[in-house]
């Protein structure tokens, strides 16, 4: 590779919007070879010239880490949205070197000592709270990165981090490949009985993509996959119990056997996390994980989970009994012996009858462009900001990706975001997420300082436009979009000018879901819902009776939904707190043991859900899955502030919205989340609002 090509390598640009249209997998390795060499030299120079001051320590260090974050962030992002064998190979080649450099940086004794000197110096009191929190976090992170380890212990720590990074990538790839590997091709009308048109269109499109050129929604063949927009509706609507069983069993055994088996990876990951905790002086990984979270200790987390478990368990038992009775009333053969593959199907039938609407009937009222209008209308109303399309102003990684600008009351731009809405199972991982593209920060160039505006990635996996229709969303997909946009607002509406505490940076992990879950509540609020729910062909608003049914159905089976989250959270915590890898119990055994008190329909013996539990084995939720519930207590209580102010009172909504924007969204990681919450709410959070919103309060009393 000649020097000329390297100097033009788009991954070495180092700042600004990523030049997605120019980036090729073969540029990754040369870019990182050069970048890491330069950063290594910069680190050596920095260590030799450190001053224990903000400008002599934090600023130069931030410049250095930002170059790495910029380039590595792009590669990570592309792994999630444009995965390919070539990109994977490049990623796996450079990942060990990146981990090595991150360890070296995290364990730099000179930098750690300088941070401690800064904290002990006379300058300390003159720093703003955001700056102090950044310094405190840097000291804590260095300690959690093994800065205090010497010799063999440090070498072992680094080797563990390296192996964990590789295992996490492998876990994720296995899940993606296993999801992709299975499909069910249906060819007869009997096999598609009960399936909605939206799914038949998607399944015919999948069949065409797989080489069946003449596949049509009417005559097939139809290809059903384990990708959620295909799997979910099939489980809800297919009348063919045998096919539901087949699909369900394929889904719960993903990545659990053969070349893609994640079981050995799980045991190894848990083993290494325990060893890591031992090295750093913690009894287990849960304690290590909580050292940087909002929850004070494992006991506090377990107490919350138990409070929610006991409030939801009996409700979940009643849900299942009601479902059995309903199936019996329809003279279903399986009524007395409902299995996992029957639950979605009968829950959907019961919901249709109880509330007289189907999830499918609502789709035509939620075309993506209108949902976006409704979402943007809401944030204008609550926070006074305006969202407008800025397509064409930023390079994109796929033609379906959109780019938007957010402006404040004066019309000045304050942030931007990409939206990648549709499912692309061949190259994009499942789920939905918000990620940081660029963080807000004060930057000085040639003596002139300016504010760099934040940019976010919002990624969903909803039903793509099919056969000339726009993307027609299920109400669940609408809620997901609002959720991710809440994360986006947290990142984009920050007022903090120090990158290390701007937006979601330096926000404790179990508080980070507050703004996202908060936004979901608005999907049910009348002006918001009617602002977006209009039929895509006729423009007619959603009929009132549907709205009333949506409200009535909101807490349908909410005991079961809550219990499900408690199950995941408890399993995660137990695996990282009491479980000893290599003992006479496996991780799967732990899950089946806990299922006795956290599920009402025990998982099948072959259920290998953990093998696809990417949140805790390939994402950042290890010993932190409880964060969803912890933050939901905060978000429900935050929304209750708007309810108390009066949702009909526009002035009160504006005033409360401004207070929320100025605290929860603006303060980012500059203050402790409890302090941020109290500055918005005027008191500590309470679980009452959450139990009330979920319709579980009466049961809890």
Active site (catalytic) residues: 484
User: What size, in residues, is the chain?
Assistant: 701
CA distance 8 to 221: 47
Nearest-Å Rg of the Cα atoms of the chain is 25
Rounded to whole angstroms, the Cα distance separating 129 from 110 reads 24
389 vs 401: CA distance, rounded Å: 11
What's the CA gap between 285 and 293, in Å, rounded? Answer: 13
Residue owning tokens 């608003």: 541
450 and 501 Cβ atoms separated by less than 8 Å? no
Phi, psi angle pair for 211, to nearest 5°: 110, -5
Q: Is 242 exposed, middle or buried, given 0-12, 13-18 or 19+ CB atoms closer than 10 A?
A: exposed
Q: CA-CA distance, 424 to 179, in Å (whole number)?
A: 12
CA dist 291 and 314 (Å) reads 34
The token pair at 665 is: 């969204």
541 three-state secondary structure = strand
**Termini Cα distance of the chain:** 70
Q: Put residue 440 in one of left, alpha, beta given phi > 0 → left and psi -120 to 50 → alpha.
A: beta
The backbone region for 646, taken as left when phi is positive above 0, alpha when psi lies in -120 to 50, beta otherwise, is left
Half-sphere exposure of 102 (CA within 13 A, CB side): 19
Which CA distances in Å does 198 have to 108, 218, 507, 622? 56, 11, 40, 36
Alpha-helical runs (H) found in 467-509:
475-492
Q: To the nearest 10°, report the CA torsion of 334, 336, 341, 343.
A: 120
Among 284, 274, 188, smallest CA distance to 577 is for: 284
Cα separation of 553 and 357, whole Å? 10
Give the count of alpha carbons within 13 A of 225, CB side only. Answer: 22
What residue spans of 554-626 are helical by DSSP H?
558-577, 587-598, 614-617
Q: Which residues contact 343 (CB under 8 A, 6 or more apart)?
A: 323, 601
Query: Are 552 and 352 within 8 A, CB to CB?
Result: no
DSSP 108: -
């Amino acid at each position: 590779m000649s020097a000329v090509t390297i100097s033009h390598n788009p991954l070495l640009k180092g700042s600004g919007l990523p030049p997605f249209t120019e980036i090729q997998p073969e540029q990754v390795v040369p870019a990182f070879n050069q970048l890491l060499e330069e950063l290594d030299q910069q680190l050596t120079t920095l260590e030799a010239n450190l001053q224990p001051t903000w400008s002599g320590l934090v600023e130069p260090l931030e410049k250095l880490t930002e170059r790495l974050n910029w380039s590595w962030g792009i590669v990570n992002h592309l792994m999630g949205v444009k995965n390919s064998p070539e990109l994977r190979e490049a990623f796996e080649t450079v990942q060990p070197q990146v981990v090595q450099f991150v360890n070296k940086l995290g364990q730099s004794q000179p930098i750690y000592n300088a941070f401690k000197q800064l904290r002990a110096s006379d300058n300390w009191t003159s720093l703003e709270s955001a700056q102090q929190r950044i310094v405190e976090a840097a000291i804590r992170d260095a300690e959690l990165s093994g800065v205090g380890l010497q010799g063999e212990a440090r070498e072992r720590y680094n080797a563990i981090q390296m192996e964990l990074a590789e295992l996490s990538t492998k876990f994720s790839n296995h899940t993606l490949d296993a999801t992709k590997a299975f499909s069910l091709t249906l060819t007869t009308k009997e096999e598609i009985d009960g399936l909605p048109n939206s799914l038949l269109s998607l399944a015919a499109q999948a069949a065409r993509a797989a080489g069946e050129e003449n596949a049509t929604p009417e005559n097939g063949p139809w290809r059903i996959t384990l990708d959620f927009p295909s799997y979910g509706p099939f489980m809800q609507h297919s009348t063919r119990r045998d096919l539901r069983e087949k699909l369900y069993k394929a889904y719960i055994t993903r990545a659990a056997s053969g070349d893609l088996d994640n079981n050995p990876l799980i045991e190894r990951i848990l083993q290494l996390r325990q060893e890591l905790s031992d090295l750093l002086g913690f009894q287990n990984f849960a304690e290590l994980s909580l050292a940087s979270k909002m929850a004070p200790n494992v006991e506090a987390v377990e107490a919350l989970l138990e409070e929610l478990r006991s409030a939801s368990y009996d409700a979940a038992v009643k849900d299942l009994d009601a479902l059995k009775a309903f199936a019996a009333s329809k003279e279903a053969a399986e009524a007395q012996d409902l299995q996992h593959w029957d639950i979605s199907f009968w829950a959907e039938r019961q919901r249709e009858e109880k509330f007289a609407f189907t999830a499918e009937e609502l789709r035509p009222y939620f075309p993506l462009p209108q949902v976006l209008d409704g979402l943007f209308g809401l944030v204008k109303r609550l926070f006074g900001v305006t969202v407008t399309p800025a397509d064409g102003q930023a390079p994109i990684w796929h033609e379906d990706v959109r780019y938007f600008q957010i402006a404040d009351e004066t019309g000045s731009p304050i942030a931007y975001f990409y939206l990648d809405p549709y499912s692309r199972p061949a190259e994009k991982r499942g789920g939905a997420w918000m990620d940081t593209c660029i963080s807000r920060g004060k930057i000085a160039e040639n003596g002139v300082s300016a504010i760099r505006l934040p940019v976010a990635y919002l990624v969903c996996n909803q039903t793509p436009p099919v056969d000339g229709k726009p993307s027609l969303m299920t109400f669940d997909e609408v809620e997901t979009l609002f959720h991710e946009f809440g994360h986006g607002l947290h990142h984009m509406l920050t007022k903090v000018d120090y990158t290390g505490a701007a937006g979601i940076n330096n926000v404790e992990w179990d508080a980070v879901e507050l703004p996202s879950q908060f936004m979901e509540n608005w999907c049910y609020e009348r002006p918001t819902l009617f602002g977006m729910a209009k039929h895509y062909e006729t423009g007619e608003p959603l009929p009132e009776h549907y709205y009333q049914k949506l409200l009535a159905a909101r807490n349908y089976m909410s005991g079961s939904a809550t219990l499900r989250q408690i199950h995941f959270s408890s399993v995660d915590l137990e695996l990282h707190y009491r479980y000893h890898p290599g003992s006479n119990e496996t991780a799967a055994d732990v899950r089946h043991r806990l299922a006795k008190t956290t599920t009402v329909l025990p998982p099948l013996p072959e259920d290998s859900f953990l093998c696809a539990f990417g949140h805790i084995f390939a994402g950042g939720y290890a010993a932190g899955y409880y964060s969803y519930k912890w933050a939901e207590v905060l978000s429900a209580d935050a929304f209750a502030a708007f309810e108390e102010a009066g949702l009909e009172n526009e002035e009160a909504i504006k005033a409360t919205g401004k207070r929320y924007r100025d605290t929860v969204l603006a303060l980012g990681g500059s203050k402790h989340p409890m302090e941020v919450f109290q500055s918005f709410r005027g008191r500590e959070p309470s679980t009452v609002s959450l139990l009330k919103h979920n319709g579980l309060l009466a049961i809890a009393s």
